[in-house]
Chains A and B, each alone.
Chain A
Amino acid sequence: MDKLIIGGKELKNRLFIGSGKFADESLIGDIVAQTGVEVVTVALRRVNLNGGKENILNYIPKDCVLLPNTSGARNAEEAVRIARLARAAGCGNWVKIEVISDNKYLLPDNNETIKATRILAEEGFVVLPYMHPDLYAAKELERAGAAAIMPLGAPIGTNRGLKTKEIVRILIEECELPVIVDAGIGKPSEAAEAMELGAAAVLVNTAIATAGNPAMMANAFSQAVQAGRQAFLAQPGETTEFARASSPLTGFLRS
């Protein structure tokens, strides 16, 4: 069996989903049931003291691995604070480090992300850092104790696809850790593209949550991730410049 192991946990499903932006959060449970998604991200926020929505955890099946993010953190210190609070909520010790101070493109700050990763890995967290694809930063995250690295495909929520393909390909080739493409993946074909490169998994939120039919889109992503993974394992044939006939070039019927 082709399994992915992260932080000692064996995962069968290589599609991770985010729980943000769903117009109807109750769809999350249906999506998990249909696709077998095992990892779901959440965020931690101040409660609305004047009454608010139902808690997101009510919509995420209990057997899912919860992956709280540190969104809102602008530096390592804030990310560490959020991660510790998330763990104190009693939903496991996984954390997606997200340190962002750029409000236009929401690009992650690799230096602060490395610092936070080092501290939290030391404290026993399973750390999945969201990162700008860069080989030196990836190596540093590896040394800092990350359980996987999560390079972006394109800016968060843009649905623009795997714009960072060449560097992601190099990270996959050069890093020991699982590479999970996070952010920007807008269509199933782009998820398949990441998986064909050898990505360990992809994390998709906006593309599913904001689709006209989120459940159907989640199914499409699930199939694309499986197809891409199989294609990677099957080892694609070589590409060539000129045509090579697939049918025999002898025994033609001639008049």
Chain B
Amino acid sequence: MHVTVNGEVVELSESTPLLDYLISRNLNPAVLVVEYNRKILHRDRWSQIQIGDGDTLEILSFVGGG
């Protein structure tokens, strides 16, 4: 199945809880903000949401900026 993550198509072997996916990508969930199919997803729900075929994720964090 295919999921679009930050504009790139990513292949997933099976539907995965979002939180597990984030951890599998070596991301620190504490500093992230996630948009799931164009809706902001509160971090309380990251372990419940299963990402699957056709989903779109934006995974963002703060960087230096002026």
* A, B assembled together: yes
Please report A residues at the B interface, Cβ cutoff 8 Å: 18-22, 25, 41-47, 49, 51, 53, 55-57, 66, 68-69, 71, 84-86, 88-89, 91, 156-157, 183, 203, 205-206
Instruction: Kindly specify which of B12-20, B22-30, B47-55 makes contact with the partner chain.
Output: B22-30
Check A89 against B28 for contact (C-beta < 8 Å): no
Check B60 against A19 for contact (C-beta < 8 Å): no
Check B31 against A49 for contact (C-beta < 8 Å): no
Check B64 against A19 for contact (C-beta < 8 Å): yes
Task: Give Cα A156 to B63, complex, Å.
Answer: 17
Apart from A45-B62, A47-B60, A68-B62: 9 A-B pairs, beta carbons within 8 A: A42-B64, A45-B60, A47-B6, A49-B8, A69-B66, A84-B40, A85-B33, A89-B32, A89-B60
Check B58 against A42 for contact (C-beta < 8 Å): no
Check B40 against A85 for contact (C-beta < 8 Å): yes
| Chain A residue contacts of B65, Cβ below 8 A | 18-20, 41-43, 68-69, 71
| Chain B residue contacts of A55, Cβ below 8 A | 28, 31, 61-62
Task: Report 28 cross-chain contacts, Cβ distance below 8 Å, ordered by A residue.
Answer: A18-B64, A18-B66, A19-B66, A25-B64, A41-B65, A42-B63, A43-B63, A43-B65, A44-B33, A44-B60, A45-B60, A46-B59, A47-B27, A47-B32, A49-B6, A49-B25, A51-B26, A55-B28, A56-B64, A69-B65, A84-B40, A85-B33, A85-B58, A88-B33, A89-B32, A183-B66, A203-B66, A206-B66
CB distance from A76 to the nearest CB of B (A): 17
Which single residue of chain A is at the shortest CB-CB distance from B22? A47
Check A46 against B64 for contact (C-beta < 8 Å): no
CB distance from A133 to the nearest CB of B (A): 18
Which single residue of chain B is at the shortest CB-CB distance from A28? B64
Q: Give the bracket for the number of chain B residues in contact with chain A.
A: 20 to 34
- For A44, give its contact among B5, B25, B62 (CB under 8 Å): B62
| Chain A residue contacts of B27, Cβ below 8 A | 47, 49
CB distance from B21 to the nearest CB of A (A): 10
Which single residue of chain A is at the shortest CB-CB distance from B38? A81
Task: Give Cα A56 to B65, complex, Å.
Answer: 9
| Chain B residue contacts of A42, Cβ below 8 A | 62-65
Check A47 against B61 for contact (C-beta < 8 Å): yes
Closest 9 CB pairs of A and B: A43-B65, A18-B66, A205-B66, A19-B64, A89-B33, A46-B6, A20-B64, A42-B62, A55-B31
- For A89, give its contact among B26, B62, B66 (CB under 8 Å): B62
| Chain B residue contacts of A56, Cβ below 8 A | 62-64
